[in-house]
Each structure stands twice: as C-alpha cells, then as structure tokens.
Amino acid sequence: ALLREKMVEVCADKFIVIVDESKLCEGLGPGFPLPVEITPFCHEHTLRTVAALPSCAGSEAILRMGSSSSNVNDGDEIAVTDNGNYIVDLHFKEPISDAPTMAKELKNTVGVVDHGLFCDMTTAVIIAGSDGISVKEAEAKAPLSQDELKKMVGYKSVDDYVESGMVVGLGTGSTAYYAVERLGQKLKSGELKDIVAIPTSVRTKEQAESLDIPLVTLDTHSKLDVAIDGADEVDPDLNLVKGGGGALLREKMVEVCADKFIVIVDESKLCDGLGPGFPLPVEITPFCHEHTLKLIANLPSCAGCDAVLRMGSSSSNVNDGDEIAVTDNGNYIVDLHFTEAIKDAPGMADELKNTVGVVDHGLFCDMTTAVIIAGSDGISVKEA
C-alpha cells in the first residue's frame, strides 16, 4: 500500500511511526526488500530500467507474484496493487548509501509510480523493545545556507531546461556558477552531448574551460536555445536588476538571444519593487564619464537616486579600491541607489538606454521565461 500510504502521510503535519525494535537497522536495504510500484504497461522494460539505475546498482529486481500484500512469492499471477499497478521488489546485499538520492532517481524514472523510501518525512518513531517503549524524534534540520540554496537552483536549471544538442548561455555570478558546474558534470558523465555554450564574462569562460565545456560566441551562434543566469532583484512581473557582478552588458547580449531565459535565485532576491534592495548598475563609456554620470542622475525616471561611480573591482558594487572599476568591455559602471521602488522599470530602461554615453543598464525587462526560486520550503518555479 506504499502509494496510498505516502499520499496520505506526506500531507500530515506530524508523521508518527510505530515499530518494534527488530525494525531498527544501521542502513536500509539488506534487511528488507525495497518495493517500487510501477505501471503494468511494458513492466518488464521498467523493471530493467529500475535495476540499471546508478543508485540501484547491485540490487536484484524481482517482480512481485501472488498477493500484493506480501513480498514472498505466493502465487503464479503478477501481484496487483489496489491502484491496479505492479510491484518490483529490490533486494540489496549492501546498505543503500544515499536513500534520498535513490528516492529521487526512482521517482524520476518513467514508468515508476512511486517507491517505498519515505525520506525526511518522520516526526517521531515509537519503539517497543524488551526494555519497554522509547521514542526517537527527528532532529530539527539546520536551515540551508545561501550557497546550498544557490546550488539547488543552479543544478535544477540545467536538469530541467538543458537537453543534448542545445546552444546554452552561461550566466555570471555566485548562483550561475552552480549551473555551469552542473553542465560540466552532465557533459562529463555523458548524460548530455553535443552542447555548445556562450559565456557572459571572462570568469565564466574560465570556469567553463576548466570543465571542458565547448564554447562558442554570438558571432557564430546568434540563436540560443536557453540561457541561465542569476539576478540581484526580481519583481512580481519578473523584471530583474542584474549586473552586481559587472557583467550586465554581455549577459544581456547573450540572454536576449535565447528562446528561453531561466533565472535562478534564492528567495531573498524577490521584492515588491526594484531599486531599494539593490543598486541598479549602468555601464557607461569612460569618455567624459563624470558628465554621463550627471546626465543619468538628472533623468526624470532616476529622480531621487544617488549615482555612484563604481571603484575597485568591477565584480562588486562595494567600494573596494581606489581605482575606477573597469568592466570586461573596458567601460565604467555607475550604481544608482534608490530609497523608493522604481515606479516604471520599462520606462526607466528606455530612458537610460537612450542616453548618449550609456552603453547599457541592469534592468532586464520582459525577458524572463521562468524564475527558479530556492526557499526555506524547497524549490518553486514562477513562469512568466
């Protein structure tokens, strides 16, 4: 009854498990076969697919026969669950090394309905033993770090949106780093093939080269299947502020050419309005840069902002040096600090872009296909 049990128990605020002490083990697998509920259609194919999964290596996959309520063969007919499905029992000689990963891999297998791994669900276990009854409660999980959240969305973006044969835009920044890392992993394993990628900065190019990701440029590939990048702010309309890392021009040039632009952020980047939470970078030409800075500050749409020339490293909007920051393109950056939300981001975008001396700006309006968001409750996706 694993499917119905899981459907009910995953909805509970508290899931209390009751066992005798014989059920306790050092590692799942050897002591009891793992049941996997599969669809009857082409069940032998699904059985072989399950047995061949990397996480199931070394297991013996056996189709349950007779009664579906027993994993002991007690009949000549295939056992059928209450849901009309079949069950494959996986017999392991060694403990399962990573149950949550196996759970995900099984669930993502086409033909698998669900499985008997109930991971991260238990509130408490009440145990009956020779010395009486004891209770073991689940330890409170430490909240995920920001880097862990970034890794989650970076990996998911590649897993969900990148397929073999694609041209992929690679963003820049601490979140995009993990998308590049994941792409390199999947190319190395052979899971993805015939991929070429376009980096949006020198440091992304260097990371991609270190992972043996084949690189091209817009000069030879002006149409991309997908681009993946982080953002500094995301408003409810999925307009973005980008460019905190100084790569806004190359990011925009690449990402505007993509059929799909996937943004990866943790929930701290979501805002009700762009501006107050993160300075808006504007890339300008070095020629008469002070003049251009003043022009920008006096634009009607930028009224009230504090326009600050970026100093030190171009990859940080925090002043960390005495020299003017220079982008990969040889330009300067002006960071616009707002105390109130930008009222009309597309209007400001147009006004900035039409200012002589401005190369481009960090407002990415009407470009986003989907935002993958990592939060305390897991990962969510918001589509345009």
Known active-site residue 340: no
> CA–CA separation, 336 vs 291, rounded Å?
15
Nearest residue to 225 via CA among 234, 212, 216, 238: 216
3-state secondary structure of 363: strand
**207 neighbors 240 (Cβ within 8 angstroms):** no
Which pairs from 27-32 meet CB under 8 Å and 24+ separation?
27/94, 27/95, 27/96, 28/95, 28/96, 28/99, 28/117, 29/59, 29/92, 29/94, 29/95, 29/96, 30/92, 30/93, 30/94, 30/95
212, 220 Cβ separation under 8 angstroms: no
Beta bridge partners of 112: 38
Q: Which of 235, 331, 311, 324 is nearest to 277 (CA)?
A: 235
Rg of the chain in Å (alpha carbons): 27
- Which stretches of the chain are DSSP H helices? 2-9, 43-51, 99-107, 146-161, 176-189, 202-210, 248-255, 289-297, 345-353
The residue from 44, 60, 105, 251 that is catalytic is 251
Residue 209 token pair: 């080269």
Catalytic residue set: 251
